[in-house]
């Protein structure tokens, strides 16, 4: 059974953010992840992690104005300075919170910008981020996201991510492979993970359709978890799903998957 981290942005949402750490620990999780820490003081988050015996395995670089619908700015040619300032802010939080990897969201492709400029901007921003993170002893992740949920998202396929990382040329840069997004965009989950395993630094899950917990949709999670064990994936899997009812009511999927 892979190691599971509760995604506090999606789970335990009936509680205030800082109270979700305790709920995750009570539910048996040993680690958590979330989108962004920046609305809170790092000391307050660290206290919740320590009080509940939790590791933090992932958060994102700043990603523009999330509330206004932005989903990253790393491919935006006119916002390079903003992106690079965010890298420094993210590293400061990562060092305070003890997280070892940060995810970079590429963002939606701006209208009227040529593909070659989008790619070159993203590549150069990733080089900058990877160098800064390496100096701090951190890994950089990039995440393909499906264009049904986020139309226009620039990075949307695993092969595209692998090609971009090859161009970046950083040994501390990896793919964050989200099973839900990959199922929607390309399928072939088992073969794709195996092919790109050396470049996969983190995995996230949800079922499809609905983005709910495993067992509510079409993805064969008992097979997939056994496959991940078989091919030697030893990282964390973030549970980035929307509970079909409540988080607590849906947590039985962990036992059902482990029993298969």
pLDDT, tens digit (0-9, with 9 covering 90-100), for 237-254: 999 999 999 999 999 999
Query: Does residue 209 have a cis bond before it (omega within 30 degrees)?
Result: yes
Q: Whole-angstrom Cα distance, residue 208 to residue 201?
A: 22
Count CB atoms within 10 A of the CB of residue 159: 12
- Residue 40 and residue 17 in contact, taking contact as beta carbons nearer than 8 Å: yes
Supply the pLDDT for residue 260: 62
* Structural domain range at position 83: 3-259
Supply the pLDDT for residue 256: 87
Q: Whole-angstrom Cα distance, residue 133 to residue 187?
A: 31
- DSSP-assigned letters across all residues of 109-171: PPTT--HHHHHHHHHHHHHHHHHHHHHTT-EEEE----TTTSTTBS---HHHHHHHHHHHT-T
- What would you report as the CA-atom Rg of the chain, rounded to the nearest whole angstrom? 17
Residue (of 132, 156, 133) closest to 145 by Cα position: 156
Q: Average pLDDT of 6-12?
A: 98
Q: What is the CATH number of the domain that holds 71?
A: 3.20.20.150
Q: Reply yes or no on whether 240 is catalytic.
A: yes
pLDDT tens for 63-105 read 999 999 999 999 999 999 999 999 999 999 999 999 999 999 9
Give 73's contacts (C-beta < 8 A, 6+ positions apart): 63, 64, 79, 82, 83, 107
- DSSP-assigned letters across all residues of 52-103: TT-EEEEEEPP-S-GGGT--B-TT-GGGHHHHHHHHHHHHHHHHHHT--EEE
Q: Reply yes or no on whether 143 is catalytic.
A: yes
Q: Average pLDDT of 199-216?
A: 98
Burial of 259 from C-beta contacts in 10 A (0-12 / 13-18 / 19+): exposed
Residue 259 banded pLDDT, cuts 50, 70, 90: low
Q: Average pLDDT of 14-20?
A: 97
Residue (of 256, 257, 248, 260) closest to 12 by Cα position: 248
Active-site residue, selected from the candidate residues 213, 218, 240, 248: 240
- Residue 122 and residue 161 in contact, taking contact as beta carbons nearer than 8 Å: no
- The total number of structural domains in the chain stands at 1
0.85 surpassed by pTM: yes
Active-site residue, selected from the candidate residues 143, 213, 218, 248: 143
Question: To which residue do tokens 């990282």 refer?
Answer: 235
pLDDT tens for 178-207 read 999 999 999 999 999 999 999 999 999 999
Give 69's contacts (C-beta < 8 A, 6+ positions apart): none
* Tokens matching residue 138: 């951190």
């Amino acid at each position: 059974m892979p190691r599971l981290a509760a995604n506090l942005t999606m789970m335990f949402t009936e509680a205030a953010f800082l109270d979700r750490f305790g709920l995750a620990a009570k539910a048996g999780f040993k680690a958590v992840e979330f989108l962004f820490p920046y609305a809170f003081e790092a000391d307050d988050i660290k206290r919740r992690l320590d009080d509940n015996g939790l590791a933090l395995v992932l958060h994102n670089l700043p990603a523009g104005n999330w509330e206004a619908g932005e989903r990253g700015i790393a491919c935006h040619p006119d916002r390079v300075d903003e992106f690079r300032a965010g890298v420094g802010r993210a590293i400061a939080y990562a060092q305070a919170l003890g997280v070892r990897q940060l995810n970079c969201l590429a963002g939606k492709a701006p209208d009227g910008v040529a593909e070659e400029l989008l790619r070159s901007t993203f590549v150069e921003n990733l080089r900058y981020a990877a160098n800064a993170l390496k100096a701090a002893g951190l890994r950089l992740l990039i995440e393909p996201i499906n264009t049904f949920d986020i139309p226009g998202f620039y990075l949307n396929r695993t092969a595209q991510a692998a090609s971009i990382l090859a161009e970046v040329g950083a040994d501390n840069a990896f793919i964050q492979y989200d099973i839900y997004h990959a199922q929607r965009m390309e399928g072939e989950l088992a073969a794709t993970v195996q092919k790109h395993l050396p470049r996969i630094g983190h995995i996230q899950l949800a079922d499809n359709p609905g983005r709910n917990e495993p067992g509510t949709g079409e993805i064969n999670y008992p097979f997939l978890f056994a496959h991940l064990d078989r091919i030697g994936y030893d990282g964390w899997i973030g549970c980035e799903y929307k509970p079909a009812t409540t988080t607590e009511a849906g947590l039985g999927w962990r036992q059902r998957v482990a029993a298969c």
